[in-house]
């Protein structure tokens, strides 16, 4: 019996944290739009797993609350999943090129739809290169890749102020391999929501 009580308390706790972050993230978003740069975007992805840590001291005993997912929770989950897609799907480029091919454009169109839905979210577009060129030129090339991804999103209606770019050139490969399949993965624009 005591055990069951604990579980209920923990759940209560989780839900309250949830509600708190949901309202909180809206505020963060506002701040984001104002000075886009430094404010962190909503910590959406991180929210669903708070430890059932310190419960608020006096616990009010109420009639058992229905424990299913709330509307807010569902929405937050959807948003997190959508933004995960934005982050996980890289945009790939040809060798020594910042031109967006058909596949790259499709990936960006999908991102623009998601970004259109969650208009409070800002992203950083990272431009990356494979290791084959020299690192000076690749730093420039990486920036052109990030910028061409940004321009395309802007042309699809995403507000430019939500899109920051940075080039890492060949400094941060995802695949350390030294063959075409590794290089192809490294020639990318990667999206980060934080």
Partner 1 sequence: MAYFRVVFLSLIVVIFSLTDPAESLAGYDYIDINSPFLRKIPIAVPLFKAKAESVNDAHMQMSLKASDMLSGMLDFTGYFKMLNRQSFLEDPSKAETTLLNIDFHNWTAVGAELLVTGEFQIRGDVFEIELRLFDTIKSSRLIGKKYTTGVNDLRGVMRLFSGEIVFYLTGNRGVFDSRIAFVSNGTGSKEIYTCEFDGVNIRPFTRNNAITLFPAWSSDGQWIAYTSYLKGNPDLYVKNVKDGSVSVVANKGINITPAWVPGKFELAATFSYSGDQDIYLLTGTGKVIKKLTNERGSDVSPSWSPDGKKMAFVSSRSGMPQIYVLDIESSHAERLTFSGRYNTQPSWSPKGDKIAYSGMNGGRHNIYLIGLDGKDPVQLTRNGGDNESPSWSPDGSLIVFSSTREGPSRIYVMTSYGTDQRRLFAISGEQTNPKWSPSGLNYK
Site of interaction with partner 1 (CB under 8 A) = 96, 132-137, 139-141, 143-144, 165-168, 171
Alpha-carbon Rg for the chain, nearest whole angstrom, is 21
Query: Which is closer to partner 1, CB of 84 or CB of 132?
Result: 132
Q: What's the min distance (Å) between Cβ of 132 and partner 1?
A: 7
Closest CA to 173 of 185, 164, 163: 185
Cα 71 → chain centroid? 21
Q: What's the min distance (Å) between Cβ of 144 and partner 1?
A: 7
Query: Which is closer to partner 1, CB of 80 or CB of 140?
Result: 140
Residue 153: Cβ within 10 Å count = 23
Q: What's the min distance (Å) between Cβ of 166 and partner 1?
A: 6
State the DSSP code for 98: -
Closest CA to 84 of 130, 48, 50: 48
Q: Collapse the DSSP code of 171 into the 3-class scheme (helix H, G, I; strand E, B; otherwise coil) and give the result.
A: coil
Q: Collapse the DSSP code of 114 into the 3-class scheme (helix H, G, I; strand E, B; otherwise coil) and give the result.
A: helix
Q: What's the min distance (Å) between Cβ of 89 and partner 1?
A: 24
Q: What's the min distance (Å) between Cβ of 56 and partner 1?
A: 37
What the block records as the tokens of 165 is 């770019």
């Amino acid at each position: 019996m005591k055990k069951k009580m604990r579980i209920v308390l923990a759940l209560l706790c989780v839900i309250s944290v949830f509600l708190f972050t949901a309202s909180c993230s809206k505020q963060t978003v506002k701040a984001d739009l104002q000075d886009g740069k430094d404010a962190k975007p909503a910590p959406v992805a991180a929210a669903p797993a708070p430890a059932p840590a310190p419960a608020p001291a006096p616990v009010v005993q109420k009639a058992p609350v229905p424990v299913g997912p709330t509307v807010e929770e569902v929405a937050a989950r959807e948003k997190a999943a959508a933004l995960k897609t934005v982050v996980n799907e890289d945009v790939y480029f040809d060798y020594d090129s910042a031109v967006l091919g058909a596949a790259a454009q499709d990936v960006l169109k999908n991102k623009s739809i998601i970004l259109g839905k969650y208009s409070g979210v800002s992203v950083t577009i990272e431009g990356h290169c494979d290791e084959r060129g020299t690192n000076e030129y690749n730093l420039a090339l990486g920036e052109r890749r990030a910028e061409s991804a940004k321009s395309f999103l802007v042309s699809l209606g995403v507000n430019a102020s939500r899109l920051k770019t940075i080039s890492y050139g060949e400094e941060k490969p995802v695949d350390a391999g030294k063959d075409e399949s590794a290089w192809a993965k490294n020639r990318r624009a990667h999206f980060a929501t934080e």
